[in-house]
Chain A
Amino acid sequence: MEMSQYLEVFIEESKEHLQSCNEHLLELEKNPGNLTIVNEIFRSAHTLKGMSATMGYEDLAKLTHQMENVLDGIRQSKIPVTPALLDVVFLAVDDLEAMVESISEGGDGKRDVTEAVRKLTLIEKGESPDEAAAKEEIASAAVAEVPLKNTYDEFEITVIQQSMEHGFYPYEVGVTLREDCLLKAARVYMVFEAAEKLGEVIKANPPVEQLEEEQFDTSFTITLVSKEDRSLIEKAIMNVSEVVKAEALKISSDALRTPKEQEPKQPANNDIREKVQTLDAPASEIEEQSDNKETNRVKQGNSANKTIRVNIERLDILMNLFEELVIDRGRLEQISRELDNPALNETVERMSRISGDLQNIILNMRMVPVETVFNRFPRMVRQLAKDLNKKIDLEIIGAETELDRTVIDEIGDPLVHLLRNALDHGVETPDIRKANGKAETGTIRLKAFHSGNHVFIEIEDNGAGISRDKVLNKAIKNGIINDNAASALTDKQVYELIFASGFSTADKISDISGRGVGLDVVKNTIESLGGSVTIDSELGKGSIFSIQLPLTLSIISVMLVEIQEEKYAVPLSSIIETAIVRIDEILNAHNQKVIDFRGKVVPLLFLKDLFEVPSVKENDAFYSVVIVRKGDKMAGLVVDSFIGQQEVVLKSLGNYLSGAFAISGATILGDGEVALIVDCNALIK
């Protein structure tokens, strides 16, 4: 069967299931007794097994199968949950991930899984005496045996058994219609509908197609799995008019087995047909199986949102098209202002409003919860803590906070670096923590939240904090700073030194962090995203690394300003406010012109000189100043006039002009002209 068309879906879903495995395994580690978690993992593993077997990835299926056996053992309390066991399962999940990764990169998904399989088998064999016994237990727990009207093939039996394990009861419901019933097919449909409200219909005898074509006498049997009890089911089906009799019988799993063995001797016609179908289309069967489970889960959850998958490329194209529209919108707005025609103004205003809404929606569509980045951290932290012999709790807060996809793609690596840093250098080993009167287990808190036009991500640890002296010594030794300058630095400035390239404070170089290349890369990446990173720390109490990121990168709000005859755009995100300053208010300090702005001394930057703007106009007695900031530092950009605030589409200047100083990009204004976007981060040192 041609499978390539399903490959993408397979990879996507496998990744989701593996992620869910990972998450639940971590949960399980915290509550080893919680069987619902085991069930969740089992479900993921099982679906994965089915999918990979269908797609022909045998190693993947083999490993998941073995994992499933172990999980099954846990579920039936045959195998106790121990850290050693979890390690093996984690190992298996790692292998699975590697295989899925290989498939998604176009590989064959083959991998030597014997080691993981062997370990899993050992666990399964060594500590769970006998699986069959477990199954029998369930069987005896079920209701007394009844002769079955339907016969079931293996697949159906599996489905029934699985639903029993999930707390559903299988029923055989015999339904008899009135002799003079005219629209039998319609009644059948209504019966099915009623039954499906209560659970899942697994099988019908005669088969559904025959029922629909009214090829039956007056009675038929359906097999239903449901959580309701039989009287309710009978009542619900009796409610369908022209049904004279509905009788629900519980099926026990023993009863299921027997007829299957007898099957070859007395095969019901339709069963053969069904069997053949099963052979013909194993893929669809398995899909159906996972579908069933999907619906079960949805029903349990009750509040699942309807979603569709859209290729991110399409969203990007949509975004690009919309950007073009935003440019034209600007142009239209300008034209309508010039023409001053009321009807045109009104239309353009409406259009602006609508496209504004549209913009919000499109931007929102590209928003992805940071969860997608965060969810791989618990595993990583667990592993690292193990390697480092530290006890660490990772707390994640605000994983639902949303960020533009472009930012999400870039933010993963810097966060990994910072987390590793916190693990390695921040949190102390248990004995040191004990000696210092702290709890043995350190906490790392990963927190994301919105604030204004920005998203903040904080990594907070309650570890050793940053030692000012240690940092300074190291910085001086590495020639990043000299002795004299060092003493004048504020604590914050000292912490900033950690981000200097060629800096590493770990006494020993470990393979986790401490190559001294990490943190300056972090800083560069974040700044290239238009964000910033700051450190706060208290010796002995811990440190907070705080990352500030823009919500989106492609459409930004700017303040348009005019310098002589040129127009520049200053991102609103870095503007504190604008001011008009009289020439006599300007003071001189060390050859630097400054102003007194609300009690603070703010240096002035004359953009006209900085950008070598050709002079055509005389200065008047006032300066228009845009006060901008970068972190704690402020500067006043002197311009000639303010034009106004506008939403613009950020365009790159391209490779050829990438060297331009203090220009972060360009945008196209309503009149079709290009305006440059001032990079305030580069202007403030």
Chain B
Amino acid sequence: MAEAIASELKIIVFQLKEKEYAIPVSQVRSIEKIQHITRIPGTAAFIKGVINLRGLVTPIIDLRKRFNLDEEEYSDSTRVIIATLGEIEVGLIVDSANDVLDIAFDSIEPAPEIVGGIDTPFINGVVKIEKRLLILLDLAKVLNENLKGPLNSIEA
């Protein structure tokens, strides 16, 4: 990772079900409230559709669906994190955006098997800060349609 040059990494922490996840701030364009989403027929189930982000048509991914967590009604705390990866700009629906933190690179540990398995394919590593366990997401893998979580493969 390019950020490896610096000793600290700034991350955005967000909540999905009971777990806390994080992505580097450098990949985040903005954080939006939930708004009307236009469904796109014929796309993967986890692609919720598109929104109008200040004149740009932006695809939206429901992370709960992506990780095969049970869906929940959107609430006031539901947020859309607009993330960029190369040329692609997508919105990620999360339960809430919690925090912006600086973490030391040394504190990133490889993903342990114990995390639970469901989201392992999308994980870059984990960070332990005091009592919190943050899961670092690999955005490229989250966006990759062909990569399915283990639950999907069991269903298939």
* Chain A residues close to B by CB (< 8 Å): 323-324, 327, 566, 610-613, 651-657, 659-663, 666, 668, 672-676
- The residue that A657 contacts in the complex, of B40, B51, B56, B87, with Cβ under 8 A, is B40
Question: Which residue in chain B gives the minimum CB-CB distance to A668?
Answer: B52
Are A673 and B52 also in contact (CB < 8 A) when A657-B43, A659-B43 are?
yes
Q: Assess the B40–A654 pair: CB atoms within 8 A.
A: no
Please name 24 pairs of A and B residues whose Cβ atoms are closer than 8 Å in the assembled complex, sorted by A.
A323-B55, A566-B38, A566-B39, A610-B41, A611-B42, A612-B42, A653-B57, A654-B57, A654-B88, A655-B87, A656-B90, A659-B42, A661-B42, A662-B41, A663-B42, A666-B38, A668-B57, A672-B35, A673-B36, A673-B38, A674-B50, A674-B51, A674-B57, A675-B38
Within 8 A of A (CB), among B29-85: 35-36, 38-43, 47, 49-52, 55-59
CA distance A675 to B57 in the complex (A): 10
Cβ contact within 8 Å between B38 and A660: no
B119 within 8 A of A: no
Cα-based distance from A625 to B46 in the complex (angstroms): 31
Known interface pairs A324-B55, A674-B52; A656-B38 also in contact (CB < 8 Å): no
What's the nearest-Cβ distance from chain B to residue A211, in Å? 60
B52: which of A610, A612, A656, A672 is its contact (CB, 8 Å)? A672
Interface size on B, residues (CB 8 A): 23
Residue B101 at the A interface, CB < 8 A?
A: no
Q: How far is the CB of B7 from chain A (nearest CB, A)?
A: 33
Q: Is B55's CB under 8 angstroms from A668's CB?
A: yes
Q: Which chain A residues lie closer than 8 Å to B42 at the CB level?
A: 611-612, 659-663
Partner of B59, one of A613, A651, A653: A653
Q: Chain A contacts of B40 at CB under 8 A?
A: 653, 657, 660, 663, 676
Q: Determine whether B103 belongs to the interface, using a CB cutoff of 8 Å to chain A.
A: no
**Residue from B35, B41, B88 in contact with A660 in the complex, judged by beta carbons closer than 8 Å:** B41
The reply on B20 being an interface residue by CB < 8 A is no
* Cross-chain contact of B57 among A612, A661, A666 (Cβ < 8 A): A666
A652 touching B57, Cβ below 8 Å: yes
A657 B59 Cβ-Cβ under 8 A: yes
> Across the interface, which residues of A come within 8 angstroms of B35, CB to CB?
672
Determine the distance from Cα of A582 to Cα of B56 in the docked complex, in whole angstroms: 40
Q: Across the A-B interface, how many residue pairs have beta carbons closer than 8 Å?
A: 71
Chain A residue nearest in CB terms to B41: A611
Closest chain-B Cβ to A223's Cβ sits at a distance in Å of 61
A654 touching B52 by the CB < 8 A rule?
no
**Interface residue B89 (Cβ < 8 Å from any Cβ of A):** yes
Name the residue on B nearest A613 (C-beta): B41
Given contacts A656-B90, A660-B40, A672-B35, 6 further A-B contacts (CB under 8 A): A566-B38, A653-B50, A654-B88, A657-B43, A660-B41, A673-B38
Cβ of B108: which chain A residues have Cβ within 8 Å of it? Answer: none
Find A656's partner among B39, B55, B88 (CB 8 Å cutoff).
B88
Measured between beta carbons, the chain B residues less than 8 angstroms from A327 are 55
Minimal beta-carbon separation of A345 from chain B (angstroms): 25
Would you list the 5 A-B pairs with minimal beta carbon distance, nearest first?
Answer: A611-B41, A661-B42, A674-B38, A666-B57, A651-B57
* Bound CA span A663–B36, Å: 19
Q: Please name all residues of chain B whose beta carbon is closer than 8 Å to the beta carbon of A654 when the two chains form the complex.
A: 57-59, 88-89
Residues of B near A611 (CB, < 8 A) are: 41-42
A676 x B38 contact (CB < 8 A): yes
Known: A566-B38, A674-B38. A660 touches B43 (CB 8 A): yes
The reply on B9 being an interface residue by CB < 8 A is: no
Nearest opposing residue in chain A for B88, CB measure: A656
Cβ–Cβ contact B41 & A656, under 8 A: no
Is B25 located at the chain interface by the 8 A CB criterion?
A: no
User: How many angstroms from the CA of A644 to the CA of B36 in the assembled complex?
Assistant: 21
Residues of A within 8 A of B47 (CB): 657
B143 at the interface (CB under 8 A from A): yes
Give, as a whole number of angstroms, the nearest-CB distance from B73 to chain A: 16
* List of B residues within 8 angstroms of A672 by Cβ: 35-36, 52
Residue of A nearest to B61 (CB): A656
Chain A residues closer than 8 Å to B39, beta-carbon distance: 566, 613
Q: How far is the CB of A615 from chain B (nearest CB, A)?
A: 13
- Give the CA-CA distance A660 to B35 in the complex, in Å: 22
Q: In the complex, how many angstroms separate the beta carbon of B62 from the nearest chain A beta carbon? A: 14
Residue in B41, B52, B88 whose CB lies within 8 Å of A663: B41
A residues within 8 A CB of B143?
A: 656
Instruction: Kindly list chain A residues whose C-beta atoms are within 8 Å of the C-beta of B56.
Output: 651
For window 79-118 of chain B, which residues contact chain A by CB distance below 8 Å? 87-90
> Inside 8 A of A656's CB, which chain B residues have their CB?
59, 88, 90, 143
**Which residues of B have CB within 8 Å of A652?**
57
Cross-chain contact B41 with A661 (CB below 8 angstroms)? yes
- Please report the C-alpha to C-alpha distance between residue A612 and residue B49 in the assembled complex, in whole angstroms: 13
CA distance A324 to B52 in the complex (A): 12
- Closest-by-CB residue of B relative to A669 is B52
Chain B residue with minimal CB distance to A661?
Answer: B42
Q: Which residue of B lies closest to A675 (CB)?
A: B38
In the bound complex, what is the Cα–Cα distance between A191 and B130 (angstroms)? 93
The CA-CA distance from A500 to B109 in the complex, in Å, is 54
- Complex: how many Å from CA A675 to CA B39? 9
Chain A residues with CB under 8 A of B88: 654-656
Q: Give chain B residues whose Cβ lies under 8 Å from the Cβ of A659.
A: 42-43
Smallest distance from the beta carbon of B149 to chain A beta carbons, Å? 19
Q: Of all chain B residues, which has the CB nearest A612?
A: B41
Q: Which residues of A contact B55 (CB under 8 A)?
A: 323-324, 327, 668
With the chains together, A282 CA to B143 CA distance in Å? Answer: 61
The residue in chain B whose Cβ has the minimal distance to the Cβ of A663 is B40
Complex-state Cα separation, A654 to B52, whole angstroms: 13
Given the complex, which residues of B lie within 8 Å of A324, measured CB to CB? 55
Residues from chain A with a CB closer than 8 A to the CB of B36 are 672-674
Determine if A657 and B41 form an interchain contact, defined as CB atoms under 8 angstroms apart.
Answer: no
- Cα–Cα distance between A323 and B55 once the two chains are bound (Å): 9
Q: How many whole Å from A183's CB to the nearest CB in chain B?
A: 61
Residues of B within 8 A of A666 (CB): 38, 50, 57
* Distance between Cα atoms of A327 and B55 in the complex (Å): 8
Looking at B35, B52, B58, B90, the one whose CB has the most chain A CB atoms below 10 A away is B52
Q: In the docked arrangement, what's the CA distance between A672 and B59, Å?
A: 15
Minimal beta-carbon separation of A637 from chain B (angstroms)? 14
CA distance A324 to B47 in the complex (A): 26
Identity of the chain A residue whose Cβ is nearest the Cβ of B42 in the assembled complex: A661
* Inter-chain contacts of B50 with A (CB < 8 A): 653, 657, 666, 674
* Whole-angstrom CA separation of A125 from B50 in the bound complex: 72
CA distance A656 to B50 in the complex (A): 11
What separation, in Å, do the CA atoms of A634 and B143 have in the docked complex? 38
CA distance A614 to B51 in the complex (A): 18
Cα-based distance from A651 to B52 in the complex (angstroms): 11
Interface-centre pick from A611, A612, A656 (highest chain B CB count, 10 A): A656
Q: Bound complex: CA of A652 vs CA of B50, how far in Å?
A: 11
Q: Tell me, rounded to whole Å, the shortest Cβ–Cβ distance linking B54 to chain A.
A: 9
Using Cβ atoms and an 8 Å threshold, which residues of chain B touch A668?
A: 52, 55, 57
* Residues of chain A within 8 A of B58, CB atoms compared: 654
- Report chain A residues within 8 Å CB of B57: 651-654, 666, 668, 674
Interface centre among A613, A672, A674, A675 (most CB of B within 10 A): A674
